[in-house]
């Protein structure tokens, strides 16, 4: 923007009908008079001040896609190696008349099977998983204390409760995997000097 | 110009190539934006993502790897379906044939098995990661619920697949699992009959678990995955840094 005030005697008469002279025409002066030109008139109010925040984004291609590609590739190699070197378990043909010495649920249900050793089946097998699943779904609607807090130090209760729950589940599963033998009795694997020791793990994936 | 370079040029200039890719290899911002936007597989991503979202130590790629495992399991599962009949008399023999006769059958079965365990494990880890980042807080509450549904679906996918080899581990693990359902108050008998299709694990159970495993739960998973990914975008990308 330039200086909009100039002495009236320096004004140049333009070949434009005076009634149709625009604001810019009125401001036009010879270059010799002023070494600058008026490019546009901008009213103060019309200027939209854009608060441009520093751009913290990166292009998806290549920054995100390369990481995803690498992760997927590494997972493929890992699965291929596991598939090549470790065979999936397969036992004898199913037989409803022969109960195996050790009958364990898949590992993600072993925590529940472990609970069966302590509680009534209705509690361990039905109410607990139902409560866990429904409770997990309700977490965002229960944890309404500080909705902007994401740091663990700002939400100690949530973090401590969740960690305790995870540790409990992990412990139950761990006991189910390693310390349960024939007839789901308590055994200690590999250590022969214990009375209830078992020579190997009674567990298959 | 060498032979390979000429071949490369003629392929890239051919009409088939240009209709397939529409633009040359993306080297500048504009073409990179188009590459993501115009590709059906990549367009679940925004063109730009926030810097912290691409840090490996923030997400550990857990959700993405869970989805990748889902895709691996779909592909290996479809291959295995060609050689498997859900019949109490044939299933076990089919598995033996897959392991000894089918080309890459043993490898495919192994990958399917280990991938399934890994997927359950990764979905658990993904859920823990999301919790510790408080990423279920507004506006992402409902996406957490969708995630819980997906966790349940993943476990059910793994559990229904567990019976299909029809060996002793499968039979008795499913017997234990379905017995638990029999202890549900009030609805115990109907639930048990519905799951087993009879009084004990048998032919009907195998067919039910097979259909649930190859059709029902994959469809449920696909629908909820679509909602899950859609809502990530609509809720402003993945959650902010700690």
Question: What is the ipTM for the molecules in this complex?
Answer: 0.92
Question: What is d(CA B148, CA A148) in angstroms, rounded to the nearest whole number?
Answer: 22
Write b or e for each residue in B52-66: b if 16 or more Cβ atoms lie within 10 A of its Cβ, otherwise e. Answer: bbbeeebbebbbbbb
Cβ of B156: how many Cβ atoms within 10 Å? 17
Residue B116 lies in a domain: yes
H or E element at residue A57: strand A57-59
Which sign does the torsion angle of CA A138, B151, A205, B160 carry? positive
B12 and B33 inside one domain? yes
Contact status of A133 with chain B (Cβ, < 8 Å): yes
Structure letter (DSSP) for residue A202: -
Smallest Cα distance from A106 to chain B, Å? 7
What would the pLDDT profile of B141-193 be if each residue is shown by its tens digit? 999 999 999 999 999 999 999 999 999 989 998 888 888 777 878 887 888 88
B 156-215 residues with CB < 8 A to A: 158-159, 162, 165-173, 175-177, 179-181, 183-185, 200-202
Residue B208 lies in a domain: yes
Which of B149, B226, B141, B209 minimizes the C-alpha distance to B173?
B209
B105 and B123 inside one domain? yes
B160 and B40 inside one domain? no
Residue B29 lies in a domain: yes
What would the pLDDT profile of A120-157 be if each residue is shown by its tens digit? 888 888 899 999 999 999 999 999 988 888 888 889 99
Smallest Cα distance from B69 to chain A, Å? 8
Residue B203 lies in a domain: yes
Prediction pTM value = 0.85
CB–CB contact B35 A61 (8 Å): yes
B32 and B105 inside one domain? no
pLDDT at B185: 81
Domain that holds residue B190: 55-234
Instruction: Find where tokens 């793994």 sit.
Output: B158
Smallest Cα distance from B15 to chain A, Å? 25
B170 and B227 inside one domain? yes
Residue B148 lies in a domain: yes
B85 and B43 inside one domain? no
A 40-99 residues with CB < 8 A to B: 56-65, 67-68, 71-72, 75-76, 79-80, 82-84, 86-96, 98-99
Pick from B61, B137, B184: CB nearest A147: B137
Q: Total domain count for chain B?
A: 2
Pick from A57, A75, A94: CB nearest B50: A57
B104 and B188 inside one domain? yes
Pairing of strands B48-50, A197-198: unpaired
Question: What is d(CA B102, CA A128) in angstroms, rounded to the nearest whole number?
Answer: 42
B19 and B94 inside one domain? no
B137 and B179 inside one domain? yes
Residue B242 lies in a domain: no
B20 and B114 inside one domain? no
Residue B239 lies in a domain: no
| Extended strands (E) in chain B | 48-50
Residue B241 lies in a domain: no
Q: Under 8 Å CB-to-CB from B134, ≥6 apart: which residues?
A: A149, A150, A151, A155, A158, B239
H or E element at residue B174: helix B168-181
What would the pLDDT profile of A8-54 be if each residue is shown by its tens digit? 555 555 556 667 766 766 666 655 565 566 677 776 665 566 666 66
Which of B139, B108, B87, B126 minimizes the C-alpha distance to B225?
B126
Contact status of B103 with chain A (Cβ, < 8 Å): no
3-state SS class at B167: strand
Lowest mean pLDDT among A33-37, A99-103, B210-214: A33-37
Report H helices in chain A: 23-27, 65-85, 110-116, 121, 128-142, 156-178
Residues from chain B contacting residue A150 (CB–CB below 8 Å):
133-135, 137, 239-240, 242
CB–CB contact A91 B109 (8 Å): no
Instruction: Tell me what the mean pLDDT of segment B8-23 comes to.
Output: 89
Residues from chain A contacting residue B114 (CB–CB below 8 Å):
79, 82-83, 86, 88, 205
B21 and B82 inside one domain? no
Return the CATH number at B187: 1.20.810.10
Higher pLDDT, A200 or B211: B211
B113 and B134 inside one domain? yes
CB–CB contact B137 A68 (8 Å): no
pLDDT at A1: 47
Quote the tokens at residue B230: 């859609």
Residues from chain A contacting residue B136 (CB–CB below 8 Å):
139-140, 143
Instruction: Tell me what the mean pLDDT of segment A110-124 comes to.
Output: 89
Residues from chain B contacting residue A133 (CB–CB below 8 Å):
148, 152
What would the pLDDT profile of B220-233 be if each residue is shown by its tens digit? 999 999 999 999 99
pLDDT at B63: 95
């Amino acid at each position: 923007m330039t200086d909009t005030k100039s002495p009236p005697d320096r004004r140049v008469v333009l070949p434009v009908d005076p009634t149709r002279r625009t604001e810019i025409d009125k401001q036009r002066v010879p270059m010799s008079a002023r070494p600058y030109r008026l490019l546009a008139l901008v009213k103060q109010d019309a200027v939209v001040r854009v608060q441009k925040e520093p751009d913290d984004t990166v292009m998806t291609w290549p920054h995100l896609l390369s990481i995803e590609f690498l992760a997927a590739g590494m997972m493929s190699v890992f699965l291929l190696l596991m598939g090549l070197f470790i065979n999936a378990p397969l036992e004898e043909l199913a037989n409803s008349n022969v109960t195996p010495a050790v009958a364990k649920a898949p590992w993600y249900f072993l925590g529940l099977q472990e609970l069966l050793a302590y509680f009534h089946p209705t509690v361990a097998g039905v109410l607990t998983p139902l409560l866990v699943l429904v409770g997990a779904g309700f977490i965002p609607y229960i944890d309404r204390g500080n909705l902007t807090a994401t740091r663990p130090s700002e939400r100690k209760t949530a973090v401590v409760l969740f960690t305790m729950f995870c540790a409990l589940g992990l412990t139950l599963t761990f006991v189910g995997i390693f310390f349960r033998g024939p007839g789901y009795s308590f055994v200690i694997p590999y250590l022969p000097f214990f009375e209830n020791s078992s020579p190997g793990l009674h567990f298959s994936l | 110009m060498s032979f390979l370079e000429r071949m490369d040029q003629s392929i890239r200039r051919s009409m088939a190539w240009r209709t397939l890719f529409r633009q040359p290899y993306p080297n500048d911002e504009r073409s990179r934006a188009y590459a993501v936007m115009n590709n059906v597989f990549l367009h679940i991503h925004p063109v730009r993502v926030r810097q912290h979202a691409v840090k490996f130590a923030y997400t550990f790629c857990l959700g993405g790897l869970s989805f990748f495992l889902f895709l691996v399991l779909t592909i290996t599962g479809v291959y295995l379906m060609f050689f498997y009949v859900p019949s109490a008399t044939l299933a076990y023999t089919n598995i033996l044939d897959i392991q000894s006769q089918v080309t890459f059958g043993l490898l495919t079965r192994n990958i399917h098995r280990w991938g399934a365990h890994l997927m359950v494990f990764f979905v658990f880890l993904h859920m823990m990661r999301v919790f510790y980042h408080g990423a279920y807080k507004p506006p992402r509450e409902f996406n957490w619920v969708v995630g819980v549904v997906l966790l349940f679906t993943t476990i059910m996918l793994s559990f229904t697949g567990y019976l299909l080899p029809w060996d002793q581990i499968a039979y008795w693990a499913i017997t234990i699992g379905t017995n638990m359902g029999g202890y549900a108050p009030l609805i115990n008998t109907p639930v048990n009959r519905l799951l087993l299709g009879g009084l004990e694990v048998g032919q009907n159970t195998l067919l039910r678990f097979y259909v649930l495993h190859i059709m029902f739960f994959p469809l449920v998973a696909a629908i909820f995955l679509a909602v899950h990914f859609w809502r990530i975008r609509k809720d402003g990308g993945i959650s902010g840094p700690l």
